[in-house]
Amino acid sequence: MSKNDPAKKTGQAKTRVLDGKVLWFINLVAIGFSLFYIYTCAFGLISSELHRGAYLLFTFPLCLMLYPIRRGTGGNRVPLLDWGLLLLTLVSIGYWLYEYPSYAYRIGDPQPMDIIMGVFVILLSLEAARRVVGWVLPLLAVIGLLYAYLGPYVPGVLGHFGFGVQRIVEYSAVGMGGVYGIVTNTYATFIFPFIVFASFLQAAGGGVAIEEISSALAGSTRGGPAKVAVVSSGFIGSVTGSSAANAVVTGSYTIPLMIKTGYKPQTAAAIEAAASTGGQFMPPIMGAAAFLIASFTETPYLKIIKLSAFPAFLYFLGVGMMVHFVAAREGLKGMPKELLPRLKETLIKRGYMLLPIIMILAVLIAGYSAQLAAVVAIIFTIGLSYIRKDTRMGPKKIVDALVQGAKNSLAVGATAGVIGIIMAIVTMTGLGIKFSSVVISMSGGFLPITVLLVAIAGYLLGMGVTITATYILLSVLAVPALMELGVPLITAHLVAFWFCETGGVTPPVALVAFAASSIAKCNPYKAGVEAVRLASPLFIIPMLFIYTPILMDAPLPNVIETMLSSIVGIIAYAGMMQGYWIKRVNWLERLLLGVAAFCLFVPNIYSDLGGVILLVLLSLLNYRKTDEIPS
């Protein structure tokens, strides 16, 4: 791994620095991993069990070889224990692949060896996740396994009759569920090929192209570097699928520029964190959880993109306007135009590297699968790289991209087995339905309180596990509660998905804000507090999903009215949050901005008109002020 590897800067486990034959072995496994799934995504000519089992057969060895037993201690050698675990992985998953065709005829009556190998797979799943993402997720899985066994001793509504060890192991790690279930299938089918595509796009200079185009577009405007961060993080985050890695990649360029032009270090880190978080729901690729939404709701991925496009725009508009108001309040300027790339020249020189992203949309619109779109985009990226000598992808660059794509996938892939175990336990015990009844009971069946409880659950879970894992847990535990109160299926999943993002910018953990603060060299908690303010549309837009036709589930005139009013509303909200409109605002003006924003968010023509009138009067009052009000 390179010394600039984002994993080392974002709080993830430090990887081993290997060389010699061991490095050759790992790279060959990584290359085989990438090529195998590029092939299956293009042709799909393999069995379902091989498609799922091979994903773990590649992922677990890479996790065991690259990530040490104790987090934070990389080292440069693989101990004997890990070679033993590697052999155990090959034997246990290899056995499952060999035996599954015959096991399919004896489901419910497994052989002793099925159970033994299933136990090994469970242990390997726990260990892989522990090494890569920490203790929280494996601990939840262990609690789930104990809950399945000790059900008769659990008091209250959550209690159940209990299951034997054989039944638990079979359901979790022997059948085509649990470890080998929908999560592993989605990771292998959709998420992995897009992670590989992201590595190819970066290798071909796509990241540089996005940064330069963003600088040319927004760099010279008031607070230009911060707006560059918002624009570039949206595009790059959509491709990388990792908020923390996005904050490191784009922040290494934008944060020093923001500080240089007058932003406080914690503000610069907060802006990058808020912008990077939005990349998770920025079409066309979005974060890993977006593919899971498509799988769980059995909805075409293109429809998820369509539904997510305007909310993503609204989020970035809100963050961008807050950035603008911060710059205006502090009297900050943009970067000198002579130091910035010219937009026309940049588009001619670098703009073609954005075409693979457009190609993904074109393939999806043409009716082909998302995984095929990823493969086409990879091939297209390689072809485009030959337009310029400095971006040309020769054999070495292609091999490096294949290796890096496989390694980058581990932060997600390491959780496949352990999340599968949790989902199996939830399904087996009926915990999802029971949890939903508890949530509804706590809220009294009042939808706003239920949504608040889901938001709190998303925040708490997001402190300890990845966004993808948080979404999966919420989807099986909290989404049924929302649906029982009348929220449509896709809407409920999108609400859960957005609330999952809050943990990345909200202290005390705030992984994304902390990653950005390491570059800004500032107090991470101060950065986290500011990031919450800047990313606060995360808490508002999911409410619009439920109470307005923002997801285009109403007649077109109503949808257009809602979109226009929410655009004005989010701008008013940004002004309220940052204490600035045309000039600085006092407490009364700030309150009025909040009232206007609320009126504009309410889906009613009279409420919208009231909000607009209030904003016009406030603008006249604010514009005519002669004295600046101290902040």
Q: What is the DSSP string of 438-456?
A: HHHHHHTT-HHHHHHHHHH
628 has a pLDDT exceeding 90: no
Residue at 463 is within a domain: no
Q: Is residue 537 part of a domain?
A: no
**Using CA of residue 233, residue 13, residue 180, residue 144, what is the dihedral sign?**
negative
483, part of any domain: no
Calpha distance 126→351 (Å, rounded): 44
> Which of 122, 152, 183 is a domain's end point?
183
Asked if residues 273 and 527 have their Cβ atoms less than 8 Å apart, the reply is: yes
Helix axes 192-203, 224-240, angle to 10 degrees: 130
List pLDDT tens digits, range 463-521: 767 788 888 888 888 899 999 999 999 999 999 999 988 888 887 777 788 888 888 88
* Residue-wise pLDDT tens digits, 505-524: 887 777 788 888 888 888 88
**For the chain, percent of residues with pLDDT exceeding 70:** 95
Is position 272 within any domain?
yes
Q: Is pLDDT at 320 greater than 60 in this prediction?
A: yes
Residue 580, beta-bridge partner list: 584
| pLDDT surpassing 50 at residue 1 | no
pLDDT tens track for 238-248: 776 667 777 87
User: Helix, strand or coil for residue 580?
Assistant: strand
10: pLDDT strictly greater than 60: no
> Taking the CA atoms of the chain, what radius of gyration do you get in angstroms?
25
The string of pLDDT tens digits covering residues 220-230 is: 888 788 888 88
Residue 613 has pLDDT above 70, yes or no: yes
Q: Are residues 229 and 325 in the same domain?
A: yes
Residues 160-194 have pLDDT tens digits of 999 999 999 999 999 998 999 999 999 999 889 99
pLDDT at residue 281, rounded to an integer: 84
- The answer to whether residue 491 sits within a structural domain is no
Name the domain boundary from 117, 149, 183: 183
Q: What percent of the chain has pLDDT over 90?
A: 53
* 137 and 284 inside one domain: no
Closest CA to 281 of 471, 461, 132, 482: 471
Identify whether residues 208 and 111 lie together within a single domain. no
**d(C-alpha 285, C-alpha 279), whole Å:** 9
* Owner of token pair 């619009």: 544
Q: Is residue 345 part of a domain?
A: yes
589 and 621 housed in the same domain = yes
Tell me, yes or no, whether 268 and 289 share the same domain: yes
Domain region containing 630: 563-631
- Is residue 209 within 8 A of residue 250, CB to CB? The reply is no
227 and 250 part of one domain:
yes
Q: Is residue 501 part of a domain?
A: no
CA nearest to 189, candidates 302, 365, 55: 55
Q: Are residues 147 and 274 in the same domain?
A: no
Number of domains composing the chain: 3
For residues 316 and 173, membership in a common domain is answered with no
Q: Are residues 122 and 232 in the same domain?
A: no
Tell me phi and psi for residue 580, to 5 degrees: -150, 145
Q: What's the pLDDT at 4?
A: 41
Same domain membership, residue 85 and residue 162: yes
- 584: β partners: 580
Q: Judge if 328 and 395 occupy the same domain.
A: yes
Q: Which residues contact 451 (CB under 8 A, 6 or more apart)?
A: 482, 495, 542, 543, 546
Which residue carries 């999108």 as its tokens? 494
40 and 110 inside one domain: yes
Integer angstrom CA distances of residue 594 from 315, 564, 600 = 17, 17, 10
